[in-house]
Amino acid sequence: MKRRRLTFLLIHPEISRTRYNFVGVIENECLELEYISAMLKKEGHAVILYDGQVEPFGAGTAIQKTEPDVVYVCGRARQENFMLEYCANAKECGAITIIGGLHAQLCYERMYRPCVDFIVTTFDIYKILDIVAYAVYHEKAAAEQFAGVCYQKEGVWHYQAGEPFDIRRLPLPDRSYFNAFPHRYQYLELAHAAWVRTAYGCPYRCAFCHRNRMNMGQLSLRDIEDVVREIAQIDTENIYIVDDDFLFDTERLGRFVDAVRQQGIRKRYICYGRADFIAKNPEMMRKLKEIGLYYVLVGLEAIEDSYLARYEKRSDVHNNVQCVSVCNELGIHMMGMFIVDLSFRAKDFRALYHWIVEHQVRHVALSVFTPELCTPVYEQYRDRIITDNPSHFDYLHLVARPAYMGVRSFYFHYYILLIRLFLKAKREGVYDFIDYGDYIRSFVANMFRGMRKNDDM
């Protein structure tokens, strides 16, 4: 049977419909969709990409305008409602609907809905071609082709676990959409930051983290020289290496530094790294700074060893202190990421602020402890869960009852801490490009809105 050319609409939903959507502050390039776009175009299909972060019209309009044969939607837990809404829109227009992305890897059963035809639960983008061969061209599918894909047959959902994906099979991403928005996709003050991925998975197993469960828990690495060749071709100054942990192998990093130097690449880099690595490898951090490392995002998580032990972080507060000191001495902007734990008492919120001041952490990100959906941690907290709205699983909301204070009291102290950190950042001239007043006013409003009902952020 002759295969007809299909039109695919690939959708990255908006992050949130509230003011906390980070538009204009942090906007993420749709890298996973760009891999898919490259693969589909190579097969001769027409591809339209829609990113709810940057488009001026809704995804529903995009579906109506483009009349696609296939709609593919990806996203995270907080975007689940949007993903399902777009599948319902697409179904009304007669399209085949596929859901993929990080959330689908662990929570595929939550999306067993009539408006969803297929769910891809692996990083293996080539499953989309298998789905199309089966659903559009009516070719017989071998069982292994559908490993890692959920599908319905006679009204019953079927699923067979997939295999870990070898990242080296990915094509180079089709960045035409990213390039069409030269004034978007920033990371804080770094304009037009292109995402680059060098690995799937993480070698660590922190207890609270669901990232290490992706790719069936397997780490898959690209050849670092291949990564550098890709970076050399990207027409932007800022490169956001989005691996869960880029800084873990000194030999691989050494080859990265050498290759960047040899090719004379001059760019600024953002990446994730661990405090213990940074504390123990100041010389490597110096080399990375020399080739352009600008932001390193570090999960410091806590200021007490008891919390780090409970999180199975395999690091300690001494490393956190050393890490901040190494980055500050080298002039690397370190984004210290902390968990606001459900066991916090009022004094813990205050202690966290004082630790941040004492150790001169200039860039800070707070996450409310979140038992991730569809993980063993969620099951541990099941009887304390206070919301079933997936959009609340955004690390800004409380999704489980705190241990030692009421929900309102917890939010009160959380917002006081946020306001103090914003005022500190304003005094120090950090994030001068954002409207502090707007954020602080909204935190204060939330605080006085009866410490919120958990539904208006």
Binding site for ligand SF4 (CB under 6 A): 202, 204-206, 209, 211-212, 244-245, 274, 299
Closest contact distance (angstroms) between CB of 222 and ligand SF4 is: 17
C-alpha to C-alpha distance for 184 and 368, rounded to whole angstroms: 28
Copy the structure tokens of residue 377: 């941690």
Between 113 and 211, name the residue whose CB sits nearer to ligand SF4.
211
Shortest distance in whole angstroms from residue 284 CB to ligand SF4: 17
| Count of C-beta atoms within a 10 Å radius of residue 28 | 16
Name the minimum Å distance from CB 432 to ligand SF4.
29
Which C-beta is closer to ligand SF4: that of 139 or that of 304? 304
Residue 154 CB, shortest distance to ligand SF4, in Å, is: 39
- CB nearer to ligand SF4: give 62 or 270: 270
> Closer to ligand SF4 at the Cβ: 89 or 212?
212
Q: Report the nearest approach of ligand SF4 to the CB of residue 398 (Å).
A: 20
Q: How far is the CB of 205 from ligand SF4 (least distance, A)?
A: 6
Least Å from the CB of residue 206 to ligand SF4: 3
Closer of 50 and 195 to ligand SF4 (Cβ): 195
Residue 52 or 273 having the CB closest to ligand SF4? 273
* Torsions phi, psi for 323 (to 5 deg): -60, -45
> Shortest approach of ligand SF4 to residue 314 CB, angstroms?
8
The CA–CA distances, whole Å, from 228 to 239, 321, 368 equal 11, 31, 35
In the complex, what is the shortest distance from the CB of residue 219 to ligand SF4, in angstroms, rounded to a whole number? Answer: 10
How is 271-299 classified by DSSP, letter by letter? EEE-HHHHHH-HHHHHHHHHHTEEEEEEE
**Which residue in this structure is represented by tokens 């206070």?**
386
User: Which C-beta is closer to ligand SF4: that of 187 or that of 277?
Assistant: 277
Between 51 and 244, whose beta carbon lies closer to ligand SF4? 244
Smaller CB distance to ligand SF4: residue 259 or 327? Answer: 327
Q: Collapse the DSSP code of 45 into the 3-class scheme (helix H, G, I; strand E, B; otherwise coil) and give the result.
A: coil
Nearer to ligand SF4, 78 or 274 (CB): 274
Question: Between 42 and 205, whose beta carbon lies closer to ligand SF4?
Answer: 205
In the complex, the smallest distance separating the C-beta of residue 113 from ligand SF4, rounded to whole angstroms, is: 29
For 237, phi then psi, to 5°, come to: -80, -25
Shortest Cβ 319–ligand SF4 spacing (Å):
13
Q: Give the residue among 265, 270, 276, 221 at the shortest CA–CA distance from 242.
A: 270
Q: What is the CA radius of gyration of the chain?
A: 22
- Shortest distance, position 338 Cβ to ligand SF4, whole Å: 12
- Per the CB < 8 A criterion, the answer to whether 337 and 367 are in contact is yes
* For ligand SF4, the closer CB: 209 or 279: 209
* Partners of 195 in the β-ladder: 240
